[in-house]
Structure 1
Amino acid sequence: MIQYPFLEKEITIGVTAPSSGVPTELHELLKMVCNRVKRKGYSVICGDTAWTQDKAKSAPASKCAEEFNEMMMNDDIHIIIPPWGGELLIETLEFIDFDNIQTKWILGYSDISLLLLAITLKTGMATAHGTNFIDLRGEYSDNTTAMWESVLSLKKGESILQLSSEQYQKEWQFDQTTPYVFNFTEKNEWKSISNNLVQIQGRLLGGCIDTIRHLIGTRFGEVQNFKENYIKDEPILWFLENCELSTTDLRRSLVQMKLAGWFTNCSGIMFGRSQANTTVGNYTVEDVYKELAMELQVPIIYDIDCGHVPPQITFINGAYAEVELCSGKGGILQYFI
């Protein structure tokens, strides 16, 4: 059975950096977002790792894990939101105290998704793939990003619908700031291999494929054990996004996931928009999706609101979801059951 944390109205956010921290020259961003969320009524506790960055990490792995473990055990902290992702979170896993994971939300994406997936797989506690802390620094959030509060305030047994965004951000325009941080310029359209009405149901699991693929073959990536112990072998509906992989590296990663049994009893796969997916030869990302759909015989939806091309829907690892795509518009109904 999945355990769902609950976001209270008056909460304290713990900001720790198990991957990358914020370098000195960007401290003003972190101060800005702390002030912004405080004005919204939240309290904030920033750990030491949030303010440091050297050698591609916020701090040595043992220190990162120690701070995360302390925040997880601290009853005065109700949700943990890292400042952003990074590169080397995998180093911390052996030091994370999985036996004492408390039922509280952890929210993030990119490299953070590796920790989120590992926690859900090992403990059965739901985790939240969505915005990072730095991207909450705007005067307000766009409608898609802002849903993180509503989703995490859901009680067990309830459900919530999120719809595809109207537009997305193709590239950052730092000289043209907006009240909601992002620069939305492109019309959003979800796509599918079949080009027909698509309806999929299943238990959500996923994250940034660049990082979560490295859980395969470790004690932190036992998908079959999770299915047997926590969801009674219900089908998995995967959501994946690509940060930096070429099409051939993406293909290798997906084949490895398949060979490792991660796609056994899979009901479908959703892929986020990506600025990566670099074509190799004439091998395109659409070719990757078509081959995977044919091999697995499941629906594949792509260019959804997930990952490094904002905005992004808040996906809950472990939640039951019903997804529908029709005429380029998508909706995801998540149930906390």
Structure 2
Amino acid sequence: MIRYPIAAAGATIGVTAPSSGVRKELHHLLEQASSRMEAMGFNVLCGETAWTQKKAKSAPAPWRAAEFNQMMHDERIHLIIPPWGGELLLEILEFIEFENMPCKWILGYSDVSALLLATTLKTGIATAHGANLIDLRGEYADPTTVMWTSVLATKPGESIVQHSSQLYQKEWQHANPSPCVFHLTEQTYWSVAPHSRVSIQGRLLGGCVDVIRHLAGTPFGDVRRFQKETIRQKPVLWYFENCELSKTDLRRSLVQMKLAGWFDHCSGVLFGRSAANQPVDDYTAEDVYHELSEELQVPVIYDVDFGHVPPQITLINGAWAEVAVSDGKGSVKQTFKP
């Protein structure tokens, strides 16, 4: 069964960097994000790794894992939000204390999604794929991303609905800061292969393909055991986002997942928008999506609101989801079923 944490008003956020920390010249971003959380009524406790970065990681793997484990067992802390993603989170998984892990929310995306997926698969604790802490530092948030607080406050057995955004951000404008971190300028349109409208449901699992693909074949990516023992063979509704993979590398990764059994009992696949969708020899992202839909005989919905092209819906690993799309508009209803 799936266990769901609860983040009540006045909860304390633990900020640790299981992947990349924040360099000294960017400490003001972490300070802004912490102040914004406090203005929203949260308490914030920042670990040492959040403030350091050297050789593509915040600290050596055992140190990062030790601070994460400590925060998970610290009764003062109710949820954990890393500052952002990075490159080498995979190094810490062998040091994480999954046995007897307390039931707390972990929120993030990008490299952090490897920790999220591994935690849910290993423990049955729901985890939250959504904005990292640095992305939440603005004076106000867009209507899509701001839903993270409502999603994490949802109680077991209850449901919450999120809708597709009106606009999305085409590119980051770090030299042009604004009261809202994201610059939303482009019309959002969720697409479906092979039809224009669809309704699918299943247990959500997923993350950033760049990193979670490396869990396949390891003790941290045992999807078959999770399906059999935790969700009792209920269908999985996968969601993926691509940060940097070429279209051929994305295709190879999906084939590997299929061969590893990840798509057994799959009801559908969601893909977030990607800035890495350049064709390879006329082979496009749409080709990848349509091929996967044909092979699995399930709908594939793409350009959905999550990942590195914001804004972001908050998706809960382990939750029962009903996703509907019609004429470019979509909704995600998540029910916190055990």
TM-score above 0.5, yes or no? yes
Which residue of structure 2 aligns with residue 233 of structure 1? 233
Asked if structure 1 preserves the Cα contact closer than 8 Å seen for 2:194 and 2:290, the reply is no
The number of aligned residues is 337
Instruction: Please tell me whether the aligned partners of residues 13 and 42 of structure 2 are also in contact (alpha carbons under 8 angstroms).
Output: yes
Hey, what's the Cα distance between the residues in 1 that align with 2:19 and 2:177?
27
Instruction: Give matches, 1:183-332, under 5 Å.
Output: 183-332=183-332
Instruction: Establish whether residue 47 from structure 1 lines up as the match of residue 66 from structure 2.
Output: no
Q: Which amino acid aligns with 1:143?
A: P
TM-score by length of 1: 0.99
Q: Deviations over 1:8-28 (max 9, x none)?
A: 111110000000000111001
Distance in 2, Cα, partners of 1:178 & 1:55: 30
Distance in structure 2 (CA, Å) of the matches to 1:174 and 1:107: 23
Mapped contact 1:73–1:100 kept (Cα < 8 A): no
Partner of 1:153: 153
- Residues in 1 aligned to 2:90 and 2:328: alpha-carbon distance in whole angstroms: 36
* Residues 85-114 of structure 1 deviation map (CA, whole Å, 9 limit, x = unaligned): 000000000000001311010000000000
- What is the SS of the residue equivalent to 2:145? coil
Other structure's SS at 1:119 match:
helix
Partner SS, residue 240 of structure 2:
strand
Gaps (5+ residues) in structure 1?
Answer: none
- Aligned twin of 2:81: 81
Shift of 1:278: 2.5
CA contact (8 A) 1:243 1:308 kept: yes
Please give the TM-score of this superposition, normalised by the length of structure 2: 0.99
Q: Deviations over 1:261-320 (max 9, x none)?
A: 000010000000000033111111111111111111000000000100000100000000
SS at match of 1:330: strand
72-81 vs 97-106, greater mean Cα deviation:
97-106
Q: For 1:277, what is the secondary structure of its paired residue?
A: coil
Partner of 2:36: 36
- Between the aligned partners of 1:321 and 1:43, the Cα distance in structure 2 is 30
Cα RMSD after superposing both structures: 0.7
SS state at 1:30 partner: helix
2:142 corresponds to which residue? 142
Unaligned runs of 5+ in 2: none
Corresponding residue number in structure 2 for 1:13: 13
* Residue pair 2:237, 2:269 contacting (<8 A) in 1 also: yes
In structure 2, C-alpha distance between the alignment counterparts of 1:90 and 1:8, rounded to whole Å: 30
Q: Is 1:250–1:277's contact at 8 Å kept on the other side of the alignment?
A: no
Cα deviation for residue 37 of structure 1 reads 1.2
1:56 aligns with 2:56: yes
Percent identity of paired positions between Structure 1 and Structure 2: 64
Per-residue CA distance 1:142-196 (angstroms, 9 max, x = gap)? 1111000000000111000000000000012234333221100100000011233
